[in-house]
Amino acid sequence: MTFDLVGCAKAPATLSLPRLDPLQQLKQDIAAATASMGVQRAAWGIVVHSLDRNERIFELNPRTLLVPASAAKLVSLSTAVDAVGWNFRFETTVRATAPLVDGTLQGDLLIVGSGDPSIGGRGGEELSVWVDTLKDLGLRRVDGRVIGDDDALEDPRPQLAWAWDDLGYPTGVLFGALNVAENRMVVTITPGSDADAPTRLSVDPYASYRPLINSTVTGAPGSPLLIWPEQRPGEPFLTIAGSIPAGAPPAQLSVSAGNPTFWFASVLRGALLSSGIEVTGEAFDVDDVMPGPERAGPVLY
């Protein structure tokens, strides 16, 4: 007797896991992220609040005191938008303290700011646009000073709980009514030819007002490059410290520009000179001008 055996193979059954509730999925994702390799020793503080339901739906260490970081920018932005709306525009004007006659301003250029943080920065208008507009108006010479007027806001100063050792870095710059290039400048450090030989600091001409103390040294060839800025509260000068190896190419360090109003006036004066407009006076913060300049002059920009 012959039997034909025919086997029927079935595909393995697919195991389907129940889908998590979105809230449970969120909690699971956060738990996984905060327990992943590399962050296990970090301190986390997380609060998720539903705007629709007006209730807190997740929290992790909600009462732990942590040092605020860049997440605080979201609070600043939302507060500003709530106060003035998305279409708000800062106003910065260039005034003359005397009439423009035959291309010459026989008086001061007065820049009046209101806090615009974007001028000359990564998302704002370049000062070259200002200079071109002034040249189109016929300005060829300023027989006076370039003065920054920051009186629309309180004088720039470090805020509550700022770390003083950040003040020399771009992350610790001061902001006020006048700001340009995010109030940052670049210092170039050139090493000596041999170990222990003097180093040299250099900056762009319009940044030469910033008093610098050179505490850098030339290290042995092949030694590590380690350069940092030190800005102590209340001191006008910035110390550049560290070591740069002999024979290495010059190193560049981005640092805080100091007084933002004086920095703005200095950068604008430098831009005017570079474009061929003569400026006989120096750059000033309005707080250092006595008596104060005439603020009722014609608006040039």
Annotate 263-273 with b (16+ C-beta within 10 A) or e (fewer): bbbbbbbbbbb
pTM score, whole prediction: 0.79
Round to whole Å and give the CA distance between 162 and 164.
6
94 occurs within a structural domain: no
Q: Is the confidence at residue 221, as pLDDT, over 90?
A: yes
pLDDT higher at 21 or 295: 21
236 occurs within a structural domain: yes
219 occurs within a structural domain: yes
Token representation of residue 286: 């309005």
Alpha helices, H only, 116-188: 127-136
84 occurs within a structural domain: no
Q: What is the mean pLDDT of the chain?
A: 89
Domain count, the chain: 1
194 occurs within a structural domain: yes
209 occurs within a structural domain: yes
Residues above pLDDT 90, as percent of the chain: 66
239 occurs within a structural domain: yes
Question: Residues 27, 58: contact at Cβ < 8 Å?
Answer: yes
Round to whole Å and give the CA distance between 151 and 137.
27
Question: Residues 146, 265: contact at Cβ < 8 Å?
Answer: yes
SS3 261: helix
Round to whole Å and give the CA distance between 44 and 76.
21
The 10s digit of each residue's pLDDT in 51-92 is 899 999 999 999 998 877 788 888 889 999 999 999 999 999
132 occurs within a structural domain: no
Question: Residues 175, 156: contact at Cβ < 8 Å?
Answer: yes
List the domain range (segments joined by +) for residue 195: 181-256
The 10s digit of each residue's pLDDT in 122-164 is 878 899 999 999 999 999 999 999 999 999 999 988 888 788 8
Which pLDDT score, from 0 to 100, does residue 162 have?
Answer: 84
Which pLDDT score, from 0 to 100, does residue 2 have?
Answer: 42
The enclosing H or E element of 25 equals: helix 22-34
Using a 10 angstrom Cβ sphere, with 0-12 exposed, 13-18 middle and 19 or more buried, the burial of residue 24 is exposed
